[in-house]
Amino acid sequence: MANELFNWLYRDIEDQARVILEPSNYNYYRSGATRERTLARSKDSWASYDFVPRIPIERKTVSSRSQFCSVELATPLYVAPMAFQSLLNSGAESQFALAANLVNVPYCLSSRTTTSISEVAEIASDEAERRRLFGQLSGFHKHMLEHFWQADEAISSGAKLFFQVYFMAEREVTFQLAEEAQLNGFSLFLLTVDTPVLGMRLSDLKMGFVPPEGYADKLYDRLVREGRLSSAKSADDIPFQPKSRDNALNQDPGIGLGALRLLKARVDLPVAAKGVIRQSDLYGALAEGADGVVISNHGGRQLDDTVLTADALWRLWDNFESSRISVDGGISNGADVVKALCMGASSVGIGRNAAWAFAVGGALGLASYLIELRIEIEYVMTLLGVASVSELGRSDITLSSRT
């Protein structure tokens, strides 16, 4: 059993993914904006903070249970939305969601999905698929997962799916996607507000990366056929932007935080604003009706030289109701996750590391990675001297004197 331990969390899955994936597909997942300085620095950003462990008074069972907006989380994780998962492995978004859901970790489906929303929802909770995947796990992972399931019994078993919304120039497609997600049992929307246009991913352009057709394109075609779309959108040639149906499916560059109110008027689920960095925007998002915010710089893919999310969280957010705050960017292990919780977030999104695990090992790789991540989160909490997420706070962490 010893060599089954931490096989995913502590091996270089990105290196393995680089060997397996077609080079321009690997690069699309790896890349950041222009000089990639934010991307490079974000990898070690959480290491700039050190724990200040407590001596626990009594031994208690550790629980990493948490909440984001009104969604209960068995552990403070979800898989961040990432476009075009058919580039990574067979089964694409459906198998990605299945693996996360097996471990009770919500999966956030991107608007740029290659698989239909209903198929993702169906496979993610399909009993036979779950049993098949469970059967493939190693003895160690099976054992730990059963232990987690027991601990999670009280958590409502329903949907563990979030949907990421891009406010597209063709609004009807945006709304149709959101309504479809709601109908299919998704529980939270992440409305991305940091992407008026796509960042300049120069290496993707150099490698001639071409995005695969997404589900929104199919929906667009259907709505056009049915005569349900407004007039054709501008075909302006915006530099560095992929041409998408005369730009109808590109993000609406002028929508801003006002999109929150428009989306909330159409759907009945909580909505969090994803991509907030400044405190004034956090207040702005809440004023526009956001139920929460995700502090994110889009994994260094938008504006290069943007402040790192660990630093943004550390400097700016200390007095908010933590169940409204989430963060992503460069998080790769349990210590990073617990540091984010100490700084005031209630959950974190895992982006590329989840993608590498899925690329290397499919649903089995991702499930194993997430199980190991949860083990480490609870282990770190134990060593830090806390038994629950609500006990974590600023005094448990300090900015390292070495940085």
Ligand X SMILES: Cc1cc2nc3c(=O)[nH]c(=O)nc-3n(C[C@H](O)[C@H](O)[C@H](O)COP(=O)(O)O)c2cc1C
Instruction: Please select the residue that binds ligand X; options are 164, 174, 187, 368, rule is CB under 6 A.
Output: 164
Q: State yes or no: residue 331 binds ligand X (CB under 6 A).
A: yes
Q: Tell me how far, at minimum, the Cβ of 82 lies from ligand X, in Å.
A: 4
* Residue 382 to residue 18: CA distance in whole angstroms: 35
Closer to ligand X by CB, 137 or 259: give it. 259
DSSP strand pairing (107-109 vs 347-350): unpaired
Q: State yes or no: residue 351 binds ligand X (CB under 6 A).
A: yes
Task: State both tokens at 296.
Answer: 């994110």
Place of tokens 């007039």: 231
Closer to ligand X by CB, 164 or 247: give it. 164
Q: State yes or no: residue 298 binds ligand X (CB under 6 A).
A: yes
Q: Tell me how far, at minimum, the Cβ of 314 lies from ligand X, in Å.
A: 17
Instruction: Please select the residue that binds ligand X; options are 176, 192, 333, 346, rule is CB under 6 A.
Output: 192
Query: Applying CB under 6 A, which part among 2-10, 77-85, 253-261, 284-292 lies near ligand X?
Result: 77-85
Burial 218-234 (b: 16+ CB within 10 A, else e): ebbeebeeeeebeeebe
Each residue 199-238 as x (binds ligand X by CB under 6 A) or -, in order, gives ----------------------------------------
* Residue 233 to residue 236: CA distance in whole angstroms: 9
For residue 258, what are the CA distances in angstroms to 153, 172, 215, 243, 248?
39, 16, 25, 25, 19
Closer to ligand X by CB, 295 or 380: give it. 295
- The secondary structure of 202-242 as a DSSP string is HHHHHTT--PPP-HHHHHHHHHHHTT-S-SPPP----TTPP
Q: Tell me how far, at minimum, the Cβ of 351 lies from ligand X, in Å.
A: 3
Closer to ligand X by CB, 109 or 386: give it. 109
Return all residues near 165 (Cβ < 8 A) that are at least 6 apart. 111, 174, 177, 178, 189, 190, 191, 192, 263, 271
115 — phi, psi (to 5°)?
Answer: -120, 150
Return all residues near 263 (Cβ < 8 A) that are at least 6 apart. 165, 167, 174, 175, 178, 189, 191, 271
Contact 128, 369 (CB under 8 A): no
Query: Applying CB under 6 A, which part among 65-73, 78-86, 215-223, 336-344 lies near ligand X?
Result: 78-86
Helix (H, G, I), strand (E, B) or coil at 57: coil
Instruction: Please select the residue that binds ligand X; options are 13, 33, 71, 82, rule is CB under 6 A.
Output: 82
Q: Tell me how far, at minimum, the Cβ of 399 lies from ligand X, in Å.
A: 21
Task: State both tokens at 124.
Answer: 């993610």
Instruction: Please select the residue that binds ligand X; options are 91, 106, 292, 330, rule is CB under 6 A.
Output: 330
Q: State yes or no: residue 295 binds ligand X (CB under 6 A).
A: no
Q: State yes or no: residue 83 binds ligand X (CB under 6 A).
A: yes
Closer to ligand X by CB, 140 or 274: give it. 274
Query: Applying CB under 6 A, which part among 54-62, 168-176, 225-233, 291-299 lies near ligand X?
Result: 291-299
Each residue 245-274 as x (binds ligand X by CB under 6 A) or -, in order, gives -----------------------------x
Q: State yes or no: residue 344 binds ligand X (CB under 6 A).
A: no
* Residue 295 to residue 282: CA distance in whole angstroms: 9
* Residue 35 to residue 305: CA distance in whole angstroms: 9
**Which residues between 376 and 395 bind ligand X (CB under 6 A)?**
none
Q: Note the residues at the interface with ligand X (CB under 6 A).
A: 28-29, 42, 80-83, 110, 112, 164, 192, 274, 296, 298-299, 301, 328-331, 349-352
